[in-house]
Amino acid sequence: MFERLLPNLRLNSVYDLDIEALARRGIKGIITDLDNTLVGAKEPHATPRLIEWLDKLHKHGFKIVIVSNNNNVRVSRFADPLGIPYVPLARKPSNKAFRKAFEILGLREDQTAVIGDQMMTDVLGGNRLGLYTILVLPIAPKDEGVMTRVNRLMERIALRSLRKKGLWYEEEAK
């Protein structure tokens, strides 16, 4: 039941992503979450390190789109200065926002990865569509909203079950 919450890859942060390995998998586009994936939930702008990482992705030919459950004001203030397209109010794990992201990217599911910090939204949504899913640790978990805290509780329940089945090991994250 909880297997749909298992990501293909677990990392400590987006900065640990092996961009060349992702390209070798045939991935050409990245759908990324915003809050607690790229920056803390209360960080209004990209950090210099994040800007450098995004530039590196672009130089390797990756297309990027932000898909966030947050509102248009929050997402646009972050994405517009970077020139990154976005889908706000995504209602992840709903398919609709992911499909809109495919249109923006001009790519197929098998050419797309999704990166996020939540199993219940980012990983589940990506897995439902057959994307390569990458789970990162949340940047600032203390700044999370009510719904995210509810999702984290559900994640803990799922993780307990996955551990019992031998499908989740803590030392896997890099």
Which pLDDT tens digit goes with each residue over 105-138? Answer: 999 999 999 999 999 999 999 999 999 999 999 9
> Class of 2-172 per CATH?
alpha beta
| Contacts of 173 by beta carbon, 8 Å cutoff, 6+ apart | 10, 11, 12, 137
145 pLDDT tier (thresholds 50, 70, 90) = confident
Structural domain boundaries in the chain:
2-172
Rg of the Cα atoms in the chain: 15
Q: What is the band of 171 on the pLDDT scale with cuts at 50, 70, 90?
A: low
User: What confidence tier does 149 reach under pLDDT thresholds 50, 70, 90?
Assistant: confident
Check: CB of residue 41 under 8 Å from CB of residue 142. no
